[in-house]
A and B are shown apart, each in its own frame.
Chain A
Amino acid sequence: MLHRFANPNRFSRLAATMLPWVATGTVILFVVGLYFALFASPADYQQGESVRIMYVHVPAAWVALACYTFIALMSGVSLIWKHPLADIAARSAAPLGAGFTVIVLATGSLWGKPTWGTWWVWDARLTSVLVLLFLYLGHISLTHAFDNPARGAKAAAILALVGFVNIPIIKFSVDWWNTLHQPASLTRLDGPAIDPSMLTPLLLMGVAFSLYFVTMLLVRMRADLAASKARALRLRAAE
C-alpha cells in the first residue's frame, strides 16, 4: 500500500482524479457550514453574536494540530522507509499548517477582546499555539536553507519529530493548567458539553476545513512534483 504510491506519476494521476471531488465537497461544506454558523444557530446567552467566531477558530485549531501530526507522521515515514512522496507531503503541508495557526491566533485574539477584555494573555494554551507557529516557521525555513533540497527535507524531518512533543502539550494544556482558555468541550468522557444547535455547525465547519486542507495539500504536492520535473527537464536541456 505504502509503496504503491511511491511512484510520483501514479500519485499525480490519482490526485488529479480526486481533486475535483474534494474541491467540490469543500465548497459545498463551506456554504452549508457557514449558513449554519452565521444564520441557523443561536447566539450564545453570555457571549452574544461573538460566539460565531468559534466556528472558524476551533476548526482551524483542529486542522493546525492535525497538520503538524501529519507532518511528523510523514517525517517518520520519510526517515524510516525513505518514501519519496513523504518528504513532498511534509514540505507541502508546512505552509498550510502555518496559515491555519495564524488564523487560530488571529480569530482567538478577535474573540478575546470582547469576551476576555484583552487581545492576548500569556496563558498556557495561547503560548503553546504561538510556539507551534514558530515550529512551523522553523520547519519551513530549514527546508529551504540548503542548496541540496534532499538535505533540507531530511533536516526538517528530524526537526518535525523533535517538535512533536509540543502537540500533546497544546492539546492538554487547558486540562493540566488552570488557564483562562476554556477546557475541552467535545472530547470528554461524559459526552460533548455543547448544545446540538451549536455542535452541528462546528462539526460541519470542521469537516469543511479538513477537506480544504486536503484540497490544498493535493494541489501543492502536484505543484511540487511538477516543479521538480520542470527542473529536471531544464537540467537535461542545459547539458
Chain B
Amino acid sequence: MNGLVLLIRRDLKLAYRGGTDAAMAVVFFILAATLFPFGVGPDPDILPRIGGGVIWVVALLAAMLSLERMFSADYEDGSLEQFVLSPLPMVLVALAKIIAHWLTTGVLLLVAAPVLAVFYNLPGSAFVPLIVSMLLGTPTLSLIGAIGAALTLGARRSGVLISLLVLPLYIPVLIFGALVVDGALAGREFGGLLMVLGGFLLLALAAAPWATAAALRQAIE
C-alpha cells in the first residue's frame, strides 16, 4: 500500500515538474469545445441542447490524448522493468499509474467543465449533474485507457492505435454521461443513470488493473 502512494506521488511530482505537459489535455479540452459554436452557429437555443454531449465527447478525446504518455516514459527509460522486479505487485503499479493519470487529467477536466458549461449557456440546474457524471465517468476513462496504453507500448503508430482500441470501449460511458446532462436539462430523473455510470466504474475498477498489469508484463518480456 505504501508503494502505491509512493508511486502516485512520484507521478504527480513528475507531472508537476513537467509543467505544460499535463496542462495540454485541459487546453485541448477547452479549445476543442470552443470549435463547436463556430461549426453549428452560436444559436443560444441549440448550444444548451448539444452542450452536455459536446463537453462529454471532448472530455473523452482529451483523456485519450494524454494516454500515450501514461507508460511510455517509464517504458523507454527502463523504470517499468524496475517496477516488475520490485516486490510491489504489478496490479498495484497499474492502479497507481491509473490514479495518477486521473489526478493529472480527469480532475483538471472536472475543474474546467463548469467554464465550458457557461460557454454553452447550460442552465444552473445542469451544472451539478454534469460534474457528478464526470466525477463518476472520468476515472472509468483512465481505467479503460490504461489497458489501451499498456497494450500499445512499443507498437508502431501507437497514437492512432490507442484511439482505435480505446474509443469503442469509451462509448458506454459517453452515452450515459451525456444522458445524465440531457435528463437534468429536461427535468427528468437521472439518479438511475448515475448509478449505471457508477456500475461502469466498479466494473472497470475490477477488471482494468489486472488487464493492464498483464499487458505491461508482456510489453517488457
* Chain B hits for A163, CB < 8 A: 168-169
The answer to whether A145 and B155 have CB atoms under 8 Å apart is yes
Given the interface pairs A145-B161, A155-B215, the reply to whether A135 lies near B151 with Cβ below 8 Å is no
The answer to whether A158 and B151 have CB atoms under 8 Å apart is yes
Instruction: Give the interface segment out of A91-99, A136-144, A216-224.
Output: A136-144
Q: Which of A122-179 contact B (CB under 8 A)?
A: 127, 131, 134-135, 137-138, 141-142, 145-147, 151, 154-155, 158-159, 161-163, 166, 169
Chain B, residues 132-173, CB within 8 Å of chain A (1/0): the string is 000000000000000100011011111001001101110110
The answer to whether A162 and B207 have CB atoms under 8 Å apart is yes
- Answer whether residue B211 sits at the interface, using C-beta atoms and an 8 A cutoff: yes
| Least CB separation from B153: chain A residue | A155
* Chain B hits for A147, CB < 8 A: 156
* Chain B hits for A135, CB < 8 A: 168
- Answer whether residue B86 sits at the interface, using C-beta atoms and an 8 A cutoff: no
The answer to whether A159 and B151 have CB atoms under 8 Å apart is yes
The answer to whether A146 and B156 have CB atoms under 8 Å apart is yes
The answer to whether A138 and B165 have CB atoms under 8 Å apart is yes
- Answer whether residue B15 sits at the interface, using C-beta atoms and an 8 A cutoff: no
Partner of A142, one of B165, B169, B219: B165
- In angstroms, Cα B219 to Cα A145, docked, is 13
> What is the CB-to-nearest-CB distance from B193 to chain A, in angstroms, rounded to a whole number?
13
The answer to whether A158 and B164 have CB atoms under 8 Å apart is no
Number of interface residues of B (CB under 8 A): 23
> What is the CB-to-nearest-CB distance from A121 to chain B, in angstroms, rounded to a whole number?
15
Given the interface pairs A135-B168, A151-B218, the reply to whether A161 lies near B211 with Cβ below 8 Å is yes
Given the interface pairs A151-B154, A155-B218, the reply to whether A141 lies near B161 with Cβ below 8 Å is yes
* Chain A hits for B164, CB < 8 A: 134, 137-138, 141
| Least CB separation from A136: chain B residue | B168
- Answer whether residue B214 sits at the interface, using C-beta atoms and an 8 A cutoff: yes
- In angstroms, Cα B164 to Cα A131, docked, is 10
* Chain A hits for B152, CB < 8 A: 142, 145, 155
Q: Which of B101-157 contact A (CB under 8 A)?
A: 147, 151-152, 154-157
Given the interface pairs A138-B168, A142-B161, the reply to whether A158 lies near B218 with Cβ below 8 Å is yes
The answer to whether A162 and B154 have CB atoms under 8 Å apart is no
The answer to whether B168 and A131 have CB atoms under 8 Å apart is yes
Partner of A145, one of B156, B171, B211: B156
Chain B, residues 206-221, CB within 8 Å of chain A (1/0): the string is 0100010011001101
- In angstroms, Cα B211 to Cα A199, docked, is 42
Given the interface pairs A155-B215, A155-B218, A161-B211, the reply to whether A142 lies near B154 with Cβ below 8 Å is no
| Least CB separation from A122: chain B residue | B175
* Chain B hits for A127, CB < 8 A: 171
- In angstroms, Cα B151 to Cα A135, docked, is 14
* Chain B hits for A161, CB < 8 A: 211
Chain B, residues 12-46, CB within 8 Å of chain A (1/0): the string is 00000000000000000000000000000000000
User: Contact residues of B with A, CB < 8 Å?
Assistant: 147, 151-152, 154-158, 161, 164-165, 167-169, 171-172, 207, 211, 214-215, 218-219, 221
User: Contact residues of A with B, CB < 8 Å?
Assistant: 79, 127, 131, 134-135, 137-138, 141-142, 145-147, 151, 154-155, 158-159, 161-163, 166, 169
